[in-house]
Structure 1
Amino acid sequence: MTSEASTVLRLICKTQSYDWGKVGSESQVAQLASSTAGFTPRDDAPYAELWMGTHPSGASVSVESQEPLKSLLTQQNLGPKMHAKYEGDLPFLFKILSIGKALSIQAHPDKALAKELFAKRPDLYKDDNHKPEMAVAITPFEAFVGFRPLHEIATNIKAYPEFASLIGQETAQKFLTQVSSSGTSTTPEDVQNNKAALKAVFQALMECSQEALTQHLRSLIGRIEAEGKYEEQGSLPELVVRLNRQFPDDVGIFCALLLNYVKLQPGEGIFLAANEPHAYLSGDCVECMAASDNVVRSGLTPKFKDVSTLVRMLTYNYTSPEAQILRGDPYDDCKRTVLYDPPIEEFSILRTNLKAEESEVVKAIAGPSVVIVTEGSGKIKYTENGAHREQSADKGYVFFVAAGLDVELEAKGEDFVSYRAFCA
């Protein structure tokens, strides 16, 4: 028996300090965490992540009782189906990220590969679960996600001879020939050959020697700086120069020529499926993921780069950056709430955006959810044991919401934005 039976619990959530985080009050993580009594951000500390959930490395606790959230989860407030399926725990970890410096270029294994990696290298891969992720911007947000369309990569190979020299002229020319002959074809055979050519380019980059990498990258940086055309944020020259300043002589810098660059506005999102390359570059977002720590890294990091695993695991799908962006779909009969619904079972996200004095009722969800207010102030209203209840819901407030509960969100005298991760 738990000491709390409340269906809506306000939570204290843990911040994580990594060197890539934004510093002090510039960080949305720090701003949101400041709603918790006793938290004062340091001006010289990076605040990278706010964790909302039951992960043991940063478990949330009840404001009222100080008990860990996991100890308060029951068959009733998780819902019988979710309680049985996920063994009495949340199936997702919800986060806020504040990124001042690029995160590593990485991919997450699917379930089959996760089991294989965990069995072979449990020192590196800590569990046997997959780790799909979704991010929704709360400030302007930059990321790499998936491989560029083939014709864009071909254009970059031609425009950046340093890259062609690094991967080898033979590999570069085979790719250009393949794209010229079949780059727009959708027949299964041509798509397979296109992916093989792309894999050869990526593998040649990932397996290049540090000596060759340093030589060609410094040559490229010198040429870009001499030309002086790297002021436009998000342009290839600007990205190459910026990433080299953050990670000098790192192989991941050349990935800017291969991966889609996206700049998201608040409310726009991306889904990061298994076996797809990606990297967050800057900005603030809400992020939700399955409960796993499995990451295979390839660049923009001093950490271990598992090149052989990464090269063989990627799908080598290629598509436009616009195709990667999610803007939310209408949800139920709500007017001010949209749904981001990835093709997985562990989580989805709702975004509710209210103008001053507006309110919205979100009908009961079959499974548990976690809500964070990222902008404004208001109330969260619900009925518990036949009685009407309400709690203040100001910027930075985080709530666990039980399964099967209608919830009304109400804005006070300013715009109000909340995000809600759930599993149904």
Structure 2
Amino acid sequence: MEVGGGLGKKERRLVRLRCSVKNYDWGRMGSESRVARMHSLNSGVGVVEDKPYAEFWMGTHESGPSFIIRSAENGAAIGLESGSVSLNSWIAQNPEVLGDKVVKKWGHNLPFLFKVLSVAKGLSIQAHPDKELAEVLHKLQPNVYKDDNHKPEMVLALTEFEALCGFIRLEELKGVLQNVPEILEVIGSAYANQVLHFNEQDGEEKAKAVLRSIFTQLMSASNSREVISKALSKLISRLTMEKKVRELTDKEELVLRLEKQYPDDVGVIAAFLFNHVKLNAGEALYLGANELHAYIYGECVECMATSDNVVRAGLTPKNRDVKILCSMLTYKQMMVSIMPWITVISIVYLSGFWLQGFPDILKGVPLNPYISRYTPPFDEFEVDRCILHLGASVVFPAVPGPSIFVVMMGQGRMQTSSHEDLVMEGDVLFAPASAEIRVTSTASQLHLYRAGVNTRFFSTS
């Protein structure tokens, strides 16, 4: 197969990719960052030790495109020359690699974006707009909102991973207002009383209205730096003193950490309003459009619809849009489930109410002894986690859509019906639709991840 040429119906070879890196200031420094190591191995570019490495992008988004690497017959890369073809351009020339159903739904576009993240300090308090809002924001502010797509996403932890996600229950918020007087000082007693006098029998819509009112009032206070600075000073002083005589809660310890990272930022106080989620390696968390979140620490793979739209309101030096963020959020209190997987990956309503508690944590569904699948309720993507010991082999069956594979650890072979590629840590490969792929480990362990279009999309479309 020639780069830029057609792909025969019988030839389903893998295509090697050279991928982009993002050096956001919240990334891990130098070789401490998995992103830095992955990018260096993938590109041949050395690691700069005093530079943060935050995100490794694998896909077609114009803000961080991947490029085709031409390869010799033995699978070895033979270089990326100036003017090389981007994956996006190559797909446009060879749309059959996406499969008929994907082309019919999304056109000549890869519908998902795959990433590796190395998080050293908190990301912004943020949400991603739904499709309708994304189109409006992109039209009004194309320099800020880079595309017109929505951005549901899922993170799959590679290490212990921390995040803030969704709002705590109003009953918990009552306790926060009673035990964190600094929040009361910022929002005022009238707003606090909306929470303190709330009864769960008042219903879901009233609960959302109360949450919206409190959150909007708190985040809008960021317009007065003096008010936030004074409240944070009192909060940090009080917690520092109390730490000498009692054990602080996890949330209080987190607030102390965040304040060191983002002094005088309203997002530090706002952290008390959100669920503090901790993932173990191999656990995943998914987020729909207009759901508030902030990643705090750890490393993960992340998959999302192909978009880079973010609306921010705290814990960041970047552009903030408090008004849009506060107006767009769902203010749902998300469910938790330890029931069978078909329930966990579904959005469940009881009499019109979401079950209250933490967000869903996906454990992955074993497809065989080596592969676990993480399936969010979004058409654009799913993620497979594959771990093979030395000499073990597994087959990824042919699917009607495209996939991207990334090798996270070890060495091995990836075989299609017509070709074999030697792979190692840092390799990223695009697999066309209908390609059956056998993977064999030639090291003590081979860890790789696959992103592809959600399998349920093909069964329902």
Q: What TM-score do the two structures reach when normalised by structure 1?
A: 0.91
SS of structure 2 residue aligned to 1:34: helix
The residue aligned with 1:20 is 26
Q: Superposition pairs for residues 246-395 of structure 1, below 5 Å?
A: 246-319=261-334, 322-331=358-367, 334-384=368-418, 389-395=419-425
Query: Would the alpha carbon gap of residues 231 and 64 (structure 1) be closer, same or farther in structure 2, given more than 3 Å must change?
Result: farther
The residue aligned with 1:140 is 160
- For the Cα contact (< 8 Å) 1:230–1:238, is it kept in 2? no
The residue aligned with 2:228 is 213
* Cα deviations by residue, 1:310-362 (Å, 9 ceiling, x for unpaired): 1111111113664331111234xx33212211222211111112233222111
Query: Would the alpha carbon gap of residues 338 and 128 (structure 1) be closer, same or farther in structure 2, given more than 3 Å must change?
Result: same
Gap runs ≥5 in structure 1: none
The residue aligned with 1:69 is 87
- For the Cα contact (< 8 Å) 1:142–1:281, is it kept in 2? yes
The residue aligned with 2:449 is 419
SS of structure 2 residue aligned to 1:94: strand
CA distance in 2 between counterparts of 1:177 and 1:383 reads 66
Equivalent residue in structure 2 for 1:47, among 46, 50, 53: 53
Query: Would the alpha carbon gap of residues 230 and 106 (structure 1) be closer, same or farther in structure 2, given more than 3 Å must change?
Result: farther
The residue aligned with 1:243 is 258
1:72 CA drift (Å): 2.7
1:284 CA drift (Å): 0.9
- For the Cα contact (< 8 Å) 2:61–2:307, is it kept in 1? no
The residue aligned with 2:126 is 106
CA RMSD in angstroms comes to 2.1
Query: Would the alpha carbon gap of residues 17 and 233 (structure 1) be closer, same or farther in structure 2, given more than 3 Å must change?
Result: farther
* Percent of residue pairs identical: 43
> What is the number of equivalent residue pairs in this alignment?
411
Query: Would the alpha carbon gap of residues 257 and 88 (structure 1) be closer, same or farther in structure 2, given more than 3 Å must change?
Result: same
- For the Cα contact (< 8 Å) 2:166–2:359, is it kept in 1? no
Equivalent residue in structure 1 for 2:184, among 153, 164, 170: 164
Query: 1:199 corresponds to which letter in structure 2?
Result: R
SS of structure 1 residue aligned to 2:327: helix
1:234 CA drift (Å): 7.8
SS of structure 1 residue aligned to 2:405: strand
The residue aligned with 1:78 is 98
CA distance in 1 between counterparts of 2:219 and 2:25 reads 25
* Cα deviations by residue, 1:355-401 (Å, 9 ceiling, x for unpaired): 332221111111001000112222212212xxxx3212211111101
CA distance in 2 between counterparts of 1:232 and 1:396 reads 42
1:410 equivalent to 2:440? Answer yes
The residue aligned with 1:30 is 36
- For the Cα contact (< 8 Å) 2:165–2:292, is it kept in 1? yes
SS of structure 1 residue aligned to 2:46: coil
CA distance in 2 between counterparts of 1:12 and 1:20 reads 23
1:206 CA drift (Å): 1.0
- For the Cα contact (< 8 Å) 1:275–1:315, is it kept in 2? yes
Query: Would the alpha carbon gap of residues 234 and 262 (structure 1) be closer, same or farther in structure 2, given more than 3 Å must change?
Result: farther
* Cα deviations by residue, 1:77-97 (Å, 9 ceiling, x for unpaired): 211222343332211111111
- For the Cα contact (< 8 Å) 2:212–2:331, is it kept in 1? yes
| Larger displacement relative to structure 2 (36-45 or 201-210) | 36-45
Query: Would the alpha carbon gap of residues 378 and 300 (structure 1) be closer, same or farther in structure 2, given more than 3 Å must change?
Result: same
1:25 CA drift (Å): 0.8
CA distance in 2 between counterparts of 1:165 and 1:71 reads 55
SS of structure 2 residue aligned to 1:70: helix
1:245 CA drift (Å): 0.7
Query: Would the alpha carbon gap of residues 232 and 295 (structure 1) be closer, same or farther in structure 2, given more than 3 Å must change?
Result: farther
Query: 2:447 corresponds to which letter in structure 1?
Result: V
- For the Cα contact (< 8 Å) 2:414–2:420, is it kept in 1? yes
| Larger displacement relative to structure 2 (356-365 or 60-69) | 60-69
SS of structure 2 residue aligned to 1:323: coil
SS of structure 1 residue aligned to 2:359: helix
Gap runs ≥5 in structure 2: 72-79, 337-356, 456-461
1:7 equivalent to 2:13? Answer yes
* Cα deviations by residue, 1:98-121 (Å, 9 ceiling, x for unpaired): 111211010011112222323333
Equivalent residue in structure 1 for 2:203, among 190, 198, 203: 190
Query: Would the alpha carbon gap of residues 57 and 122 (structure 1) be closer, same or farther in structure 2, given more than 3 Å must change?
Result: closer
SS of structure 1 residue aligned to 2:278: strand
CA distance in 2 between counterparts of 1:213 and 1:132 reads 31
1:297 CA drift (Å): 0.5
| Larger displacement relative to structure 2 (150-159 or 298-307) | 150-159
The residue aligned with 1:174 is 194
Q: Superposition pairs for residues 87-106 of structure 1, below 5 Å?
A: 87-106=107-126
Query: Would the alpha carbon gap of residues 303 and 323 (structure 1) be closer, same or farther in structure 2, given more than 3 Å must change?
Result: closer
CA distance in 2 between counterparts of 1:288 and 1:413 reads 27
1:232 CA drift (Å): 7.8
- For the Cα contact (< 8 Å) 2:165–2:359, is it kept in 1? no
CA distance in 1 between counterparts of 2:208 and 2:397 reads 44
